[in-house]
Amino acid sequence: MAKDRNSLVFRLVITLFVILVINFFLPRMMPGDPFSTTSADEVGEEIIVMTEEQRLYYMEYYGLDKPVHEQFLIYLKNLMKCDLGKSIHYKMPVSNVIILHIPWTILIVLGSTLISTITGVILGTYSAQNRKRGSDRIMMTGMIAFAEVPSFLLGLILLLIFSVHLRLFPLAGAITPFAHYNGLAEQILDILYHAFLPVMTLSLAQLTGVYLLTRNTLITVTTKDYVRTARAKGLGEKTVWIRHALRNALLPVVTRVGFMIGIMMGGVVLVESVFSYPGIGVTLRSAVISRDYPLIQGILLVIAVSILVCNLLVDKIYSKLDPRVAV
């Protein structure tokens, strides 16, 4: 047991170090630097071009004039002190920028994970119970076709239908600008109102994976001997499906949830851009455009660590649900 724990810690350390290396050098592989050109993201904004003297001054101020290996060592040293650096674009600590924006991303990612998992399990169970029937074929064909639609295109479709034409939901933002709330409940409702379409977009994008995994696993599980034994004992069909079949079929779904969060964290950049949602995805996009190395490094590191933590939690939950895995 201790050997396995040490092996796990070693793998985590190696993985984290590889992430740090990629995290540091990848932004610097982009053409240009933060001070060659400060360009506008929006059409019509002024484009400011720095003089060479100004550029060299800021390169020295942010330590970007040093050799890359020295910059990397300084980066590691600062990380040891939990210092992610200072954002070039926002002119404030990277940790403060992340703290301001990541709660919005957590809201839509967790909400999407919950909705897509519950809905996928329900639809997958229904489809497995009615396999080889017309409803199963129609549902499975629709789900497979639906899975081919990119998440950003889904977002645009929902935005056009529910915001532009029906005007049921806002076009952009996370809260109503300059709103005065009469209480906490009203503020929460306004936040959920603005988050509805981004959450639905991410949920629909991940729904098919959960549905197919639940359906196919249930079909396999129902052929097992313990399910036949349960039926032979005279247990009701509902009890057989819930207590014996679905309980065992959920084990792969738990693993899928961990990977799903990672996929969402990657796809949230496009979805947040579609809805102008002020989460970490939009912040990463603006950081890439402005070549804000410290902010790019900080956001990618937080995303990578979040995915690692989610996978560890999934492994722990899986071993609790299936003690055979922990042996």
Q: Quick one: pLDDT at residue 234? A: 66
HEC per residue, the chain:
CHHHHHHHHHHHHHHHHHHHHHHHHHHHCCCCCCCCCECCCCCCCCCECCCHHHHHHHHHHCCCCCCHHHHHHHHHHHHHCCCCCECCCCCCEHHHHHHHHHHHHHHHHHHHHHHHHHHHHHHHHHHHHCCCCHHHHHHHHHHHHHHCCCHHHHHHHHHHHHHHHCCCCCCCCCCCCCCCCCCHHHHHHHHHHHHHHHHHHHHHHHHHHHHHHHHHHHHHHCCCHHHHHHHHCCCCHHHHHHHHHHHHHHHHHHHHHHHHHHHHHHHHHHHHHHHCCCCHHHHHHHHHHCCCHHHHHHHHHHHHHHHHHHHHHHHHHHHHHCHHHHC
Q: Is the pTM of this model over 0.85?
A: no
pLDDT of residue 115: 92
pLDDT score at 226: 66
Q: Note the CATH architecture for domain 94-326.
A: Orthogonal Bundle (1.10)
Q: How many CB atoms lie within 10 A of CB 92?
A: 12
* pLDDT in 10s for each residue of the chain, 327 residues: 555 566 767 787 888 888 888 888 888 888 877 776 554 444 444 455 667 777 788 888 888 888 888 888 988 888 888 888 888 888 889 999 999 999 999 999 999 999 998 998 888 888 888 887 888 888 888 888 877 788 888 889 999 999 888 889 888 888 888 878 888 888 899 999 999 999 999 988 888 888 888 888 888 877 776 666 766 776 666 666 766 677 777 778 877 787 787 778 777 888 888 888 898 888 888 888 888 889 998 998 888 888 888 777 877 776 666 655 554
**Structure confidence at residue 197 (pLDDT):** 92
What's residue 47's pLDDT? Answer: 52
Give domain limits for the chain: 2-80, 94-326
